[in-house]
Amino acid sequence: MNTSNRIFLYKRYERFWHWSQALLVISMLVTGFEVHGTYHLFGFEKAVNLHTIFAWTLLTLWAFTIFWQFTTGEWRQYIPTLKKVDAMVRYYTFGIFRDAPNPFHKTAEKKHNPLQRLAYLALLSMLSPVIWGSGLFYLFYSHWKSWGVDAYLSLEAVALVHTAGAFMMLVFFIAHVYLTTTGHTPLAHIKTMITGWEEAD
């Protein structure tokens, strides 16, 4: 294998973060929709307890990850850009069916294409606060009174916002998993996320 065609994209911590987060998000979707009453799997009580444990685990993971993002400077990967966004949109709607080249070329400095950047930023800045905000209020229901927020919140409203967030997360999950198949081979992106190495075209 020609090593010059390979670039190292994802460091060990980043890969650990990604996959453990993936596992936690999937688990939280599964247990969360059971708490919502969509199906029976673990039983309500166990589902609630698991969902709560996963939530705290994910928060802990995030604490480490935020630290990692800033100490490594990797946070810059999420700075949004509108440059080439139109080209990316054209690629995914037309080019991809005509074997046109991907207008974006990954480098260690720019791992995410402009659409990805926007999507991840939206996930982080919009969906995340919705889910975590509502989730923590949900979890700390018994403290509402002492916090003085019981007059402004209802469990129903909080639960509805949280459920709406869950649907959005599920939609993100579907799109995200599908887009992993759009590399030069269907499993190329997955492989990269596991090994850290990207095979350049």
Return residues touching other proteins (CB under 8 A): 34-37, 43-45, 48-49, 52, 96-99, 141-142, 145, 154-156, 159-160, 163-164, 166-167, 170-171, 174-175, 178, 181-182
**Shorter beta-carbon distance to other proteins: residue 59 or 160:** 160
**Shorter beta-carbon distance to other proteins: residue 95 or 196:** 95
**Shorter beta-carbon distance to other proteins: residue 7 or 136:** 136
Least Å distance, CB 100 to other proteins, is 11
Torsion angles phi and psi, residue 198, rounded to 5: -105, 130
Q: Which of 69, 62, 67 is nearest to 136 (CA)?
A: 62
How many other CB atoms sit within 10 Å of the CB of residue 102? 17
Least Å distance, CB 45 to other proteins, is 4
Ranges assigned E (strand) in 21-142: none
**Shorter beta-carbon distance to other proteins: residue 109 or 156:** 156
Work out the burial of residue 109: count CB atoms within 10 Å of its CB; fewer than 13 is exposed, 13-18 middle, 19 or more buried. Answer: exposed
